[in-house]
Amino acid sequence: MTRYTNIAIALHWIIALLVMVNIAIAIGSEDLSREARGPCMDAHKAIGITIFLLAAARIGWWFRHRPPALPDTMARWQRAIAKGTHFLFYALMLGLPLSGWLWMSTYPAPFSWFGLVDVPMLPVVGQEGLGELLHEAHEIMGKAMIALVALHLLAALKHLLVDDDDLMHRMLPGDSS
């Protein structure tokens, strides 16, 4: 196998878009008034839960459809960094939304999924100390996610423009090269 499956490709681009939108909402709404920020954070939470569910689906898919091997032209250290980055992405795609969800559950501060479904609160209600820790963890993981996205984008661009290898095409829809 030389390419990712269509399902893996679809999940990759949908999750990538949602993660970037969610980071933009969180950072872009930071200086807004409390009233104006409310709806932004409602969307942030709903998108975050969506990412959590899609990431779980992606991981389930990974077990049955392993990614194609990295090319031999890549140095060992490059392959190690690529694999480490991908692992960290999975950890953050689950850990980041889960920390936000758990944190909101400590108050509790119920929220809905785009006004359609009430998201259940997790069983940590009233645990203030844990809430502070989760707040901190969410911010640290948010920054780690931003750094990882930047690293990933730079690496993808290098493969496309400098190495001119096949890596980018393996993740593009409908591209059989």
Given the rule CB under 6 A, which residues bind ligand HEM? 19, 22-23, 26-27, 41, 44-45, 48-49, 51, 96-97, 100-101, 104, 138-139, 142-143, 145
Nearest to ligand HEM of 139, 175 (CB atom): 139
How far apart, in whole angstroms, are the C-alpha atoms of residue 171 and residue 173?
Answer: 7
Alpha helices in the chain (DSSP H): 6-28, 34-64, 76-106, 128-157
3-state secondary structure 113-147: ECCCEECCCCCCCCCHHHHHHHHHHHHHHHHHHHH
Minimum separation from the CB atom of position 177 to ligand HEM (A): 31
Residue nearest to ligand HEM (CB): 100
Nearest to 86 by CA among 12, 28, 22, 20: 12
**Cis peptide leading into residue 108 (ω within 30°):** yes
CB of 26 vs ligand HEM, minimal distance in Å: 3
What minimum distance in Å lies between the beta carbon of 65 and ligand HEM?
23
Cβ distance to ligand HEM smaller for residue 39 or 73: 39
Q: In whole angstroms, how close is the CB of 43 to ligand HEM at the nearest point?
A: 10
Please choose, from the candidates 10, 60, 30, the residue with its C-alpha nearest in 3D space to the C-alpha of residue 142.
30
CB of 123 to ligand HEM, least distance (A): 15
Q: Which is nearer to ligand HEM, 10 or 122 (CB)?
A: 122
Nearer to ligand HEM, 60 or 66 (CB): 60
Between 143 and 158, name the residue whose CB sits nearer to ligand HEM.
143
**Residue 131 to residue 37: CA distance in whole angstroms:** 20
Spatial contact of 133 and 100, defined as CB atoms under 8 Å apart: no
